[in-house]
Amino acid sequence: MQSAKVLVAFLAGIAFGGGAIPALVAQTAKHPAYVVAEVHINDPAGFTNYVKQVPATLAAYHGKTLVRGLPDPREGAAPAGQIVILAFDSLQDANHWYGSPEYSKLIPLRQAAASTRLYIVDGVAQ
């Protein structure tokens, strides 16, 4: 009788544990993050200087450029200027990149060459 109770408890534990695994996996799923910028360039030469230096700041923070170009709007008012989207492995990586010494020294170059609206957004788990 005692071993039957132990067996039932053991099987219940396996069933419960098996059911919890998907929830644990969902909690550890990676969330990418994106830096989204609307950029209205008023000094093309200065902005080109800035753009040439940005890629070297991304790799250490697992970042890459996904989009840089003029939008083709479908609804609502068109953004003023180009759209830039950078992708990072996590929100933490995106925030660390933006606050990094490497990128911080480039921010004044961008601000002098363009008017920018910039956002960091959390992505959907992959």
Q: Does residue 10 sit in helix, strand or coil?
A: helix
For domain 33-122, the CATH architecture is: 2-Layer Sandwich (3.30)
38: amino acid identity, one letter:
E
pLDDT tens for 12-40 read 556 555 555 555 445 567 899 999 999 99
- Contact predicate 42/115, CB 8 Å: yes
pLDDT tens for 38-67 read 999 999 999 999 999 999 999 999 999 999
Q: Where are the domains of the chain?
A: 1-29, 33-122
